[in-house]
Amino acid sequence: MKVAVGSSDGYSVNQHFGQCDRFIIYEIDEEGLYVQSENRKIGSPASLNGHEQNRLNAVAESLADCSYVLVGRIGPGAAGVLHKQGITALAVEAPIEQALGRLLTFLQSRQGAILK
């Protein structure tokens, strides 16, 4: 599974989705281990001209191989566009490692609840 992280400093999840011109991509394996695999430039941010629908769609398409997007903030319109691509957007402001750990804990608890 891939997770796209919006970060201006490479340490914290701290960027608004609409202001990201790149995303740090992490790959998470079945055992819950993650590794940074890519620094993906997406070109101009989604909000360059006020959240144009075409730009939101282009950003969502550039992240289509990701299951989750972690950003500091995201509006409902952008989250909806990502959702249509099968991507879950989560707003969290924390160090990247802590945010990924929280995501993994959440996913593991959901899977455990489903299996019981």
What are 12-37's pLDDT values in tens digits? Answer: 999 999 889 999 999 999 888 999 99
CATH of domain 2-115: 3.30.420.130
Tokens coding 58:
């282009």
Q: Give residue limits of the domains in the chain.
A: 2-115
Q: In this predicted model, what pLDDT tens digit does every residue of 35-90 receive, in sequence order?
A: 999 999 997 777 655 557 788 888 999 999 999 999 999 999 999 999 999 999 99
Paired with 94 in beta bridges are 13
Single pTM value for the model: 0.88
pLDDT at 103: 92
Q: Which of 40, 42, 56 is nearest to 2 (CA)?
A: 40
Residue with tokens 């609840």: 113
Q: Is 49 exposed, middle or buried (0-12, 13-18, 19+ CB in 10 A)?
A: exposed
